[in-house]
Amino acid sequence: MIPAAFDYIRPASLEEACRVLAEADAAGDDVKVLAGGQSLLPLLRLRLAYPAALVDLGRLPEPRGVEDRGDHVFVGALTTHDEVLRSGVVREQVPLLALATATVADPAVRHRGTFGGSMVHADPAGDLPAVALALDCVFVVRSSEGEREIPASEFFVDYLESALGPGEVLLGVRVPKLGPGWGFHYEKFHRTAQAWAIVGVAAAVRRDGGTIGEARIALTNMGPTPVRARATEAALRGLSPAPVGGAGDGARDQVRDACGQADSGTSPPADLHAKPDYRRHLARVLTYRAVRAATG
Amino acid sequence: MSEQLDAGLIAEQIAESDQLGEPSGAHEVGRARRRKEDARLVTGRTTWTDNIQLPGMLYMAFLRSPMAHARITRVDTSAARARPGVVAVYSGRDLADEQGSLPCAWPVTEDIVIPDHPPMAVEEVRYAGEAVACVVATDRYKAADALEAIEVDYEPLDAVVDMTEALAEGSPLVHESGNRAFTWKFAGGDIDAAFRDAPVVIERTYVQQRLIPTAMEPRAVVATTDGDGFTLYSATQIPHVLRVMLALTTGIPEHKLRVVAPDVGGGFGSKLQVTAEEVLGLLVTRRLGKPVKWTESRSEGNLTVHHGRDQLQRISLAAERDGRVRGVRVDLLADMGAYLMLVTPGIPLLGAFMYNGIYKIDAYDFTCTGVFTTKMPTDAYRGAGRPEATFAIERAVDELAHELGLDPVEVRRRNWITHQEFPYDTICGLTYDSGNYEAATEKALALFGYDKLRAEQSDRRDRRDPVQLGIGVSTYTEMCGLAPSRVLGSLSYGAGGWEHASVRMLPTGKVEVVTGTSPHGQGHETAWSQIVADALGVPFGDVAVLHGDTAISHKGMDTYGSRSLVVGGVAVLAACEKVKDKARLIAAHMLEASADDIEFSAGSFTVRGTAEGRTIQELALATFAAHDLPDGVEPGLDADATFDPDNFSFPHGTHLCAVEVDTETGACAIRSYVAVDDVGSVVNPLIVEGQVHGGIAQGIGQALFEEAVHDTEGNLLTTTMADYLIPTAADLPDFTTDRTETPATSNPLGVKGVGEAGTIASTPAVVNAIVDALRPYGVHDVRMPCTPERIWRVVSEAGPPASGSAAAEAPAGASAGASAEAPAPTSGPGPMSTPGPASTPGPASTPGSGSGEATSSSEGGAR
Ligand SMILES: Cc1cc2nc3c(=O)[nH]c(=O)nc-3n(C[C@H](O)[C@H](O)[C@H](O)COP(=O)(O)OP(=O)(O)OC[C@H]3O[C@@H](n4cnc5c(N)ncnc54)[C@H](O)[C@@H]3O)c2cc1C
């Protein structure tokens, strides 16, 4: 549990950080950004990664914090999970993020780990990428060349691989406010309180009068990246989510049927906690539960 | 001699100062004292082995085999030697002539195979993680880096992962001598008669998965030498045993070796070991003449801390239609791993005498085969053999209840030893000294709200609720307080089971206690102080307890097997009695009375019928000055005592667990857990409570979360805590704990061991509850750990539930003594209405001869 030797750089500003990264990129050095260290340090300690240097953003004053920007909430990459949870803006304007963040690890990890680190790490078992995907967030990225935006649907490229280029840092994420009529739920299935999700479901559902107007569902740990449950989203549109026992006993079954397609198009991994068929089953059951919870 | 050094003068000063202690009449035993060691432990003023810094210290790191089984064809350490800061690099070959073989102290049969176990592999590795080379460097970072420069060539050999396959014809061999380490048999009564024409026979196979003991403090070793003697600091439970074994292994004479167990952060049996790293630490310090340190990482620990459990249990029960158990047959395979370590082969034997549980049975037959595999050796882990036995019998009794349509509590009631029947000689040749299973069960049922939960269960079954409720019962007892030395002898164990204590009164009337037990989280400093405070009539705060250093505590048998209080605490009491005896003589002399006329109470010795007396502190001071002692009495008020118990200790209790099982996802959640334990008289209820809570949590860990998983090549897959799951407080319910107190008759404190009871009891309670929840689905077992995936698969394979509660044959009303077949109106414990034979066929009570119809390979049973 002792990492191999590496250089340690603590830039004084974001500009300096971008410059250092650009230089390293030009020199062909393998340099990694360090934020809360909750994902990167374990990789180093297990000697699964051997970067030549770490560029520590941990003490930079920005990009940090949550900002209400009218039609969206901007969450700075260096905002810790704990700060996200304490933010009234997040709770009120983008509650799905609060619901998912509350399930991340334990208080100690949430005090160090950052929102941005969770995204860039692009772990399909991480809880926040699915939220970004469900809400169609926009990632704002900076390099010495300037800023660019990446939609969530393009940000998660592969297992532990984001769309971030070598010289780029994540500034933050625009989380759209979905407006009235939307309900949210994050359903996480895990074996112990601080364990990663075996499967997770982020659901945002808009009710249109008596029916489901729109559903956005993203799945955690059902493939090398988070995935949208598009078939279920389509099948849910126009269905009545009427509660159990009401006139809609049949409607309830329809919702269940729709959620029965939640795993279509996924390629769930096999690991010690679950084989793929079980993950598929969980995705279906948990999606149903998430949709029910989101439709209240 | 100068005046200042005159003991009498100092005595005068002490008497005049306010330093001289005063007696106390407080009753300390039974008080819920906060632990006196905790302020230091929780504020970081601790000396963990890894905190120790010695001048010139070097750091060791081990290169470990990435393969489960391979021949080592080449080890090249030259590049590593050239790395910065590297002082030395050793391969197994470099140390082959001096490293000896790690000891096994428990050759359970005469023909047991004990393979050579080099601390560092020389020619062949037999488990992934076995040390193959060692770097010694100026800091631990350089040591870790240099490991990567060592080149090792391996010629892969076939892994042997599965016990059953290991015994099959043609299996690859772990050792040339074969994969069978031993077969040990034990029997009592006429087992064939018990099974012949038995109306009901239950046959089950249970898998005791391999567990990884996960003490909070990882293992660590510091070894140092002054050129003549050696000191080894180790995160160990057994400094005394370790000293002897290390002397034998390394050739360092025993009197030149001091072993220190500084603050030790938990062990659970995993630090009851003589480890490769301890031996290698001494060898390296002997070679280099410098202090060396090694501290394992968690992943290194998962690989190389000895593992626990790993047995395949075949259990058969022969019973009458009314539920009376006639006989129990057990056929066990126990995975030894690649080598036999300190007590590896003995672990299943510690369970061998427990498969009868709390029940009266006529016949018993036990066979255990120890099997070699290419995995980390197994050894003691909290409960060691007894959790396995208790699990099998408690699971099987539930199966019997289900088979007969009886309530599981009722079946137990029909079989258990009633409180009037103690002391009771069991079919296994043990004498249970005391107990009251009825009382503990009645209390537990009431606290649990058993009938109400059964009603809810039947309602959920009727409604076909996807979340089913299950109720698990575990009425356990266990043998602990290891152990009567002669019994250990009869079981071929390499040492005795006594414990030693010294109690010394200091000139100022304060007390030092030296104990041979070696606490590593148990709170001995507090409990021993309470015992001494009452015995000598001194204030609790005036007692200091010293332990864990062979230079201070010269003799002892250390801490494991729930032995510390029932053996070591009793030794402390015995030493106090000797101190009092001597003090009485001196008091009689000073008060000019006959010793027979001296009464002792609350720290004062008085002449009967008078107010004239001396406090124990005054007597301590008088013996220090020694100016006026009776003829033939030596100065000083100290005593040593060694206590060798003549029986085990038999705590018991009833644990009840309610589990909600989500049949759609397989998730289960413990809704309530009630534990009523009888650990005899209680010295400190707070400590007992702590042991029970931790024990239950650890047993739940086995039931629901923990498993060491290997792939088919024998690689351990659960090397981090993300893969090897341990429950935390967030994953556990509130435990409702209570006690009944039936004093042990086998020791003067009336105490029974509590260290392992919770772990032994809780595993079957939880699994019984899960299976109970799934009875409507026709489910009869879920393999541990009962993960959501396993539960889901079992449920999916079983198909839809049979309708309603009737199909599950869940009878209601256990606390009303009712069963589906024969409802009885009486409530409360009381003897069953259909008792078994008035007396069981008499098992002999003499040690060694036992009812145990010992085979040639085992010298009789335990007592
Ligand atoms: C015990 C434990 C349990 C956990 N459980 C969960 C869980 O249940 N659910 C969950 O979602 N997560 C969990 N995590 C991970 C946690 O959420 C981490 O906080 C998160 O994954 C990474 O954030 P970080 O700030 O620590 O990133 P770091 O570890 O510092 O970095 C992670 C990666 O992101 C890159 N990076 C970080 N910030 C930036 C940036 N601004 N720009 C560019 N690159 C950047 C780094 O280079 C690195 O590749 C757990 C972690 C631990 C230790």
> What pLDDT does residue A132 have?
98
What spatial distance separates the first Cα and last Cα of chain B, rounded to whole Å?
A: 58
> What is the DSSP code string of B745-777?
SSSTT-B---TTHHHHHHHHHHHHHHHHHTGGG
CA A126 to ligand 1 center in whole angstroms: 9
A267 lines ligand 1 (CB under 6 A): no
State the DSSP string of B459-526. Answer: HHHHHT-SEEEEEEEEEEE--BS---HHHHHHTT-SS---EEEEEEE-TTS-EEEEES---SSS-HHH
For the residues of B127-195, what is the DSSP string, one character each?
STT-EEEEEEESSHHHHHHHHTT-EEEEEE------HHHHHSTTPPPSSTT-SEEEEEEEEES-HHHHH
**Domain A182-295 top-level CATH class:** alpha beta
Any B CB within 8 A of A137 CB:
no
- Residues A217 and A262 sit within 8 Å (Cβ to Cβ): yes
Q: Is A114 in the pocket of ligand 1 (CB under 6 A)?
A: yes
Ligand 1 center to residue A110 CA distance, Å?
Answer: 10
The per-residue DSSP string of B248-307 comes to HHH---GGGEEEE--B----TTTTSS--HHHHHHHHHHHHH-S-EEEE--HHHHHHHSPB
Query: Would you state the pLDDT for residue B198?
Result: 97
Would you state the pLDDT for residue B846? Answer: 34
Separation of CA A197 and ligand 1 centre (Å): 15
Q: Is the CB of A170 under 6 A from ligand 1?
A: yes
Cβ-based contacts of A4 with chain B (< 8 Å): 145, 148
* Locus of tokens 């340090």: A41
Contact B728 A272 (CB under 8 A): no
Partner-chain contact A274 B731, CB within 8 Å: no
CB-based contact B363:B190 (threshold 8 Å): yes
The protein residue whose alpha carbon is closest to atom 3 in ligand 1 is A105
ipTM above 0.85, yes or no: yes
Residues paired with A169 in a beta bridge: A142
Helices (H), chain A: 14-27, 40-45, 81-86, 88-93, 95-101, 107-112, 115-121, 128-134, 152-155, 230-236, 249-259, 276-294
Return the CATH number of B52-157+216-266+271-304, one of 3.40.50.970, 3.40.50.960, 3.90.1170.50, 3.30.2010.20.
3.90.1170.50
pLDDT, average across residues A215-239 = 97
DSSP character string of B772-799 = HHTGGGT----PSS--HHHHHHHHHHH-
Q: Where does CATH 3.30.43.10 sit in chain A?
A: 7-56
CB-CB contact of B501 with B513 (8 Å): yes
CB A202 less than 6 A from any atom of ligand 1: no
> Residue B736: is it exposed, middle or buried by C-beta count within 10 angstroms (0-12/13-18/19+)?
middle
What is the pTM assigned to this prediction? 0.93
Runs of H (alpha helix) within B546-683: 570-591, 616-625
CB contact under 8 A, A278 and B793: yes
Q: Is B151 on the interface with A (CB under 8 A)?
A: no
Compute the distance between CA of residue B757 and CA of residue B230 in angstroms, rounded to an integer: 38
pLDDT bin (cut points 50, 70, 90) of residue A247 is low
**Rounded CA gap, B133 and A76, in Å?**
48
Cis peptide bond N-terminal to B423, omega within 30: yes
Question: Would the CB atoms of A191 and B664 count as touching at under 8 Å?
Answer: no
pLDDT at residue number A209: 86
What class, spelled out in words, does domain B498-643 have in CATH? alpha beta
Distance from CA of B767 to the nearest CA of A (A): 16
Determine the distance from the C-alpha atom of residue B509 to the mean position of all C-alpha atoms in its chain, rounded to a whole number: 36
Q: Would the CA dihedral through B596, B601, B604, B610 be positive or negative?
A: negative
User: How big is chain A by its Cα radius of gyration, in Å?
Assistant: 20
Amino acid letter, residue A204: A
CA distance B708 to B211: 5
DSSP state of B568: I
Buried b (16+ CB within 10 A) or exposed e, A170-185: bbbbbbebbeeebbbb
**Ligand 1 atom at minimal distance to the Cα of residue A114:** 25
A39 near A109, Cβ under 8 Å? no
CATH T-level fold of A66-176: 3.30.465
Closest ligand 1 atom to Cα of A171: 41
Architecture of domain A7-56: 2-Layer Sandwich (3.30)
Residue A251: pLDDT band with limits 50, 70, 90 = very low
Q: What's residue A240's pLDDT?
A: 86
Instruction: Give the rounded percent of residues in chain A with a pLDDT score beyond 90.
Output: 93
CA distance B285 to chain A (A): 23
Domain range summary for chain B, segments of one domain joined by +: 52-157+216-266+271-304, 308-482+648-802+816-862, 498-643
Return d(Cα B13, Cα A236) in angstroms, integer.
Answer: 91
Looking at chain A, the domain(s) classified CATH 3.30.390.50 span 182-295
Q: Which residues neighbour B106 within 8 Å (Cβ) at sequence distance 6 or greater?
A: B342, B343, B344, B345, B346, B349, B491, B492, B493, B494
Closest Cβ–Cβ partner in B299, B725, B792 for A1: B299
Give the C-alpha separation, B474 to B656, whole Å. 6
**Looking at per-residue confidence, does B800 or A144 come out higher?**
A144
Instruction: Please say whether the beta carbons of B794 and B711 come within 8 A.
Output: no
pLDDT at A42 over 70: yes
Indicate the residue of A46, A193, A272 with minimum beta-carbon distance to B731: A193
Q: B308-482+648-802+816-862 domain in CATH 3.40.50.1110?
A: no
* Residue A55 CA, ligand 1 centroid: distance in Å: 15
Judge contact between B523 and B682, C-beta under 8 A: no
Ligand 1 pocket check: which of A33, A141, A170 to mutate, most ligand atoms within 8 Å of Cβ? A33
Q: Among partner residues A1, A192, A278, which is closest to B792 by beta-carbon distance?
A: A278
At residue B829, the pLDDT reads 34
Bridge-based pairing of strands B637-643 and B431-432 is unpaired
List the helix and strand counts (H, then E) for chain B. Answer: 23, 28
Is the CB of residue B637 less than 8 Å from the CB of residue B505? yes
Query: H-helix or E-strand containing B450?
Result: helix B450-463
CA B195 to chain centre: 34
Q: Is A110:A193 a contact under the CB 8 Å cutoff?
A: no
* B residues 324-353 lying closer than 8 A (beta carbon) to A: none
Please report the pLDDT score of residue B9 as a whole number.
Answer: 85
CA B240 to the chain's CA centroid = 17
Establish whether domains B52-157+216-266+271-304 and B308-482+648-802+816-862 are of one fold. Answer: no
Q: In B197-227, which positions are buried (b, 16+ CB within 10 angstroms) versus exposed (e)?
A: ebebbbebebebbbbbbbbebbbbbbbbbee
Angle between helices B408-415 and B437-448 (to 10 degrees): 170
State the CB neighbour count (10 A cutoff) for residue B546. Answer: 15
Residue B415's pLDDT is what?
A: 98
Q: Is the CB of A3 under 6 A from ligand 1?
A: no
> How does pLDDT run across B588-633, given as a tens digit for each residue?
999 999 999 999 999 999 999 999 999 999 999 999 999 999 999 9
A4 interface with B at CB cutoff 8 Å: yes
A90-127 tens-digit pLDDT: 999 999 999 999 999 999 999 999 999 999 999 999 99
Q: Is A60 in the pocket of ligand 1 (CB under 6 A)?
A: no
Question: Cβ A1–B298 below 8 Å, yes or no?
Answer: yes
Pick out chain B residues at pLDDT < 50.
1, 3, 805-807, 809-863
Residues B145, A195: C-beta atoms closer than 8 Å: no
- Residue B513 · residue B651 · CB < 8 Å: no
The Cα–Cα gap between A195 and A189 comes to 9
Residue B557 to residue B238: CA distance in whole angstroms: 7
What is the distance, to the nearest Å, from the Cα of residue B10 to the centroid of all Cα atoms in its chain? 47
A27 inside 8 A of chain B by CB: no
CA distance A270 to chain B (A): 12
